[in-house]
């Protein structure tokens, strides 16, 4: 029992591994899988079409035979009537037997035609179903292959981004190592660890410092102008307005 359980599990494992590999192969070759499915459906459609054609031919033959028997039956009936008029009993009996045979064959053909018509109807319905399935499978193939291509493109993009990120991380690590080594060398040599940006007249810090100095000079000039204006205002005497007596009298009269 233990051996059977072991081998059963082993067989299940191999089936699972084989099934996984087959599934991967099918996904990689999705176009081929869809093409094979379409070819199988097309073969089935062709077989159904041929079978339906054979049924139609058989039905047409039965109809032709039944119509011929009907015409022959008319002739036998007429001959039987004439034979009965001439009292030819032997001939009449033979014609009656032939008439009965024709009627039985005609009824048999009608029944068979009914069965054939049912089979033809079913075959045509099955043929329409297979045609619809083929069209649906073609649309599905177009859609699924497009989705597969889109997914693969996204996966490649993500892999490229991940690889680029890994390379950037590695480069950043290498740069950090180089910077640390250079700083250690500068420390050992007694050099400054930072570059002096003030020595460069075109550096950002130098430009900012120059702008601040210009603003300070403008502010100082404004303060000086305000101070000078205040001094001038204090030194100027207040003008005295002398009003003549006759104008003063008139003003007082107007006020009263």
Q: What is the pLDDT of residue 187?
A: 76
Place of tokens 């032997």: 90
**What is the Cα–Cα distance from 115 to 11, expressed in whole angstroms?**
50
Q: Measured over all CA atoms, what is the biggest interatomic distance in the chain, rounded to whole angstroms?
A: 183
Check: CB of residue 126 under 8 Å from CB of residue 40. no
pTM above 0.85, yes or no: no
Q: Which two tokens stand for residue 52?
A: 């339906």
Residue 48's nearest CA partner among 139, 122, 135, 138 is 122
**What is the Cα–Cα distance from 144 to 152, expressed in whole angstroms?**
12
Q: What is the pLDDT of residue 47?
A: 92
Place of tokens 């014609």: 95
Q: Which two tokens stand for residue 153?
A: 């493109």
Q: Which two tokens stand for residue 60?
A: 């047409």
Check: CB of residue 66 under 8 Å from CB of residue 104. no
Residue 31's nearest CA partner among 136, 138, 153, 133 is 138
Check: CB of residue 130 under 8 Å from CB of residue 48. yes
Q: Which two tokens stand for residue 14?
A: 């191999």
Check: CB of residue 140 under 8 Å from CB of residue 25. no
Q: Which two tokens stand for residue 38?
A: 């379409």
**What is the Cα–Cα distance from 244 to 256, expressed in whole angstroms?**
19
Tell me the pLDDT of the chain (256 aa) as tens digits.
444 565 455 455 545 544 544 455 555 678 888 888 899 999 999 999 999 999 999 999 999 999 999 999 999 999 888 888 888 888 888 989 999 999 999 999 999 999 999 999 999 999 999 999 999 999 988 888 888 888 888 888 887 887 777 776 767 777 777 777 777 777 777 654 444 444 555 567 777 788 888 888 888 888 888 878 877 777 655 555 554 555 445 445 444 4
**What is the Cα–Cα distance from 162 to 100, expressed in whole angstroms?**
91
Task: Name the DSSP letter for residue 199.
Answer: G
Helix segments in the chain, DSSP class H? 2-28, 30-85, 89-189, 204-235, 245-255
């Amino acid at each position: 029992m233990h051996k059977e359980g072991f081998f059963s599990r082993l067989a299940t494992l191999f089936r699972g591994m084989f099934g996984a590999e087959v599934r991967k192969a099918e996904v990689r070759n999705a176009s081929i899988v869809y093409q094979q499915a379409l070819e199988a459906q097309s073969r089935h459609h062709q077989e159904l079409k041929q079978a339906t054609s054979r049924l139609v031919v058989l039905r047409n033959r039965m109809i032709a035979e039944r119509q011929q028997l009907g015409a022959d039956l008319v002739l036998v009936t007429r001959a039987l009537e004439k034979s009965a008029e001439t009292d030819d009993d032997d001939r009449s009996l033979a014609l009656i037997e032939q008439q009965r045979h024709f009627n039985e064959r005609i009824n048999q053909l009608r029944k068979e035609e009914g069965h054939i018509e049912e089979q033809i109807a079913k075959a045509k319905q099955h043929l329409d179903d297979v045609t619809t399935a083929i069209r649906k499978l073609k649309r599905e193939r177009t859609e699924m292959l497009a989705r597969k291509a889109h997914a693969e493109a996204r996966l490649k993009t993500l892999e490229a981004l991940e690889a680029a990120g890994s390379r950037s991380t590695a480069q950043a690590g290498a740069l950090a190592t180089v910077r640390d080594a250079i700083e250690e060398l500068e420390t050992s040599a007694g050099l400054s660890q930072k570059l002096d940006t003030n020595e460069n007249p075109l550096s950002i810090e130098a430009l900012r410092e120059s702008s601040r100095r210009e603003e300070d000079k403008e502010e100082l000039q404004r303060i000086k102008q305000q101070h000078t204006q205040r001094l001038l205002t204090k030194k100027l005497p207040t003008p005295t307005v002398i009003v003549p007596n006759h104008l003063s009298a008139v003003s007082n009269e107007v006020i009263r």
